[in-house]
Structure 1
Amino acid sequence: MKKTLIAAALFAAIGTAHADPVTLTYTDTFGNEQVGTLPNNSSWSGNPWNQGKPVQGNVYAGEFKFKTSEGLDFYAFCADIFHTLKSGTTYQMDALTTGSVAGIGSWEIARIGYLFDNYGDYLDNSANGKELTAFQLTLWEILFENGKNQGNQNGNPLSKGNFKVGGFGDADDLANGWIKDIYDNTQDGTKSEKYDLFFLTSSSTCTEKYTSGNKKGQCKNGKMTQDSQNLISWTAKPEDPQDPAENPNEIPEPMPLVLLTAGLLALGFTRKLRCC
C-alpha cells in the first residue's frame, strides 16, 4: 500500500507539471550494485540501440535511485548498454507499450512485464543487492539478446548467444534461473498486471551543423549523439482501482526529466564504465 501511494503521489505531481520539468538528483552511489564484465569483442544486434561496434569492459549492474524536486524517491534500471549515465540530460518519459519505443516489440513488453510481476518484490530495497543485480542482468538479456526465442540457451543464457555478460557471482546464477522461467512461461501479447512501466529516452546533441546555404545552422543528417543512457522506470498499480486515494488525479503525460549536474558529477561519472 505504501509503495502504491508514493507512486501515485509522484506521478500525480509529474502529470500536473506541464510547464516545468521534474528534476531528478541521483542519490544512490551504486550501494546495491555488483561489478562484472562484458567479454572482449562483445557485439550483438539487440534493439533498438545497436551501435554497430563491439562493447566490452567492466560494467555495473544494479538499481538507480533518484530524488525528485518534490522530495519523492524515483527508481530506474539501465535500458541502454551503449551509453553511460550523464548529468545535465533531459529525458522524454513515455509509457512502455508496444510501438511507444522504437525497436521494442510485444514479446519484449511481455517478458519485461513478467519480470516485474514475478520478481518485483525485490525492487526499491538496497539490501537486495544480489537480486537487484540479477534483475538488471535479466532486463539486459530481454532487451539485447537477438531474437524472441534466444533467451533460454542450455540453462546459461548470460554466457551464450549474442549478448554475453558475466563475473557477477551468485547474481549470474540467479538471473539465469529467472531468464529460463521468463522465456518458458511468458505469453506473448501480455503486459505487466502489477506495474505501469515507463521508458525514459535520453536527449541527443547535434555534433555537426550546416555552415552555409539555406540549411545553415541546421543539423546534418546522422550527426546526432545521444547524451545519456535510456532508462526504464515503474510505478505499482493500485491494489484497489476503485479507491480514489490510490489513484493520481491525472494520467502522466510525456514530459521531460532533467538530471541535476551537480548531483551526478559529485559521484565521479567521468570514469569510463558502460552503463549502470
Structure 2
Amino acid sequence: MQAFCIDVDHWLKTNGNATYDIISATASGGLSNLQLAQVGWLFDHHASDLGSAKKDAAFQLSLWEIFFETELSLNLSNGTFKSNTFENESGTTRNLANEFLGVITADNTYRSSGWEFYVLNPDNPSDNQRLITWHEKDPGNPPSEVSEPGTLLLLSLELGIVYFSTRHRNSAYLSSFA
C-alpha cells in the first residue's frame, strides 16, 4: 500500500506493530470538502508524475500545503504553511510543488473521477502519523459484488490453504526428530 503523510506533528513509528482505522476521505474524520477537492485535482493532474524522488517530495509538499494552509491561495513561499527547504542540485522541489499547486482552485465541489481516497487514522500507537492512501477507479470495470456462495467458496479455499500449509509445516518439523 502506498501512502503519503498528512500529519507533520508526528513521526511514522515503524518499530513494532501499528494499527490504523481506515476510513473513506469523505467520512467524518477524513478530509474537508475543500481538501478532498484539491487532493483529487492534484492526483488527477499529477499522479502520473510520481516515481522520482524529486517529484514524490514535491507531491508530498503539495499535500501538506493543501492540508495545512489556511489562506485561499496555495503557495509554499507564503501563507500559514511555508517551506524553504528541499533544495537539490537539479532544481528546487519547492518550486515544482508550487507549479503543482499553482492552478488548483478553491472550488470545494471538484471530485476526482479517477481516484478514491482513504485516511488512515492511527489507533495504536495513537500518536502515530496520520496518512492518506488511494486507489485508482476503473470506470470501464467497476467492482462487482461477490455473491454469498462465492464468498463462502473463497473462505473455504483460504481455510484449506491455511490448514494444509500448517499440516505440512508440522509434519516437516516432526520428521526432523525421526
The Cα offsets for residues 164-212 of structure 1, whole Å up to 9 and x where unpaired, read as 11221221111011111113xx63212111111110000156xxxxxxx
Cα shift at 1:162: 1.1
Larger Rg computed on CA atoms: 2
Instruction: Determine helix, strand or coil for the equivalent of 2:21.
Output: strand
Matches of 1:110 and 1:100 in 2, distance apart? Answer: 16
Indicate whether 1:198 and 2:118 are aligned.
yes
Cα shift at 1:142: 0.3
Corresponding residue to 2:22 among 84, 93, 101? 93
Query: Which ranges of 4 or more aligned residues in structure 1 deviate by more than 4 Å?
Result: none
The Cα offsets for residues 9-45 of structure 1, whole Å up to 9 and x where unpaired, read as xxxxxxxxxxxxxxxxxxxxxxxxxxxxxxxxxxxxx
Matches of 1:121 and 1:168 in 2, distance apart? Answer: 21
What residue is the counterpart of 1:129 in the other structure?
53
Would you say the 8 A contact 1:92–1:203 is kept in 2?
yes
Figure out how many residues of one structure are paired with residues of the other and give that number: 140
Which structure 1 segments of 5+ residues have no match? 1-73, 152-156, 206-225, 251-276
Residues 18-37 of structure 1: matches in 2 within 5 Å? none
Residues 1-276 of structure 1: matches in 2 within 5 Å? 74-87=1-14, 88-97=17-26, 99-101=27-29, 104-123=31-50, 125=51, 128-147=52-71, 149-151=72-74, 157-169=75-87, 170-183=92-105, 187-203=107-123, 226-241=126-141, 247=143, 249=145
Further displaced range: 82-91 or 162-171: 162-171
Structure 1 residues 204 and 90, CA gap change in structure 2 (3 angstroms) = closer
Please, what TM-score do these two structures have when normalized by structure 2? 0.71
Letter of the structure 2 residue corresponding to residue 158 of structure 1: L
Matches of 1:200 and 1:146 in 2, distance apart? Answer: 22
Matches of 2:114 and 2:55 in 1, distance apart? Answer: 19
Cα shift at 1:239: 4.2
Letter of the structure 1 residue corresponding to residue 140 of structure 2: D
Instruction: Determine helix, strand or coil for the equivalent of 2:117.
Output: strand
Would you say the 8 A contact 2:20–2:124 is kept in 1?
no
Matches of 1:228 and 1:100 in 2, distance apart? Answer: 19
Matches of 1:249 and 1:86 in 2, distance apart? Answer: 36
Letter of the structure 1 residue corresponding to residue 5 of structure 2: C
Structure 1 residues 86 and 109, CA gap change in structure 2 (3 angstroms) = same
Matches of 2:144 and 2:57 in 1, distance apart? Answer: 31
The Cα offsets for residues 81-111 of structure 1, whole Å up to 9 and x where unpaired, read as 00000132210001111x4326x32111100
Please, what TM-score do these two structures have when normalized by structure 1? 0.47
Instruction: Determine helix, strand or coil for the equivalent of 2:62.
Output: helix
What residue is the counterpart of 1:41 in the other structure?
none
Which structure 2 segments of 5+ residues have no match? 147-178
Higher helix share: 2
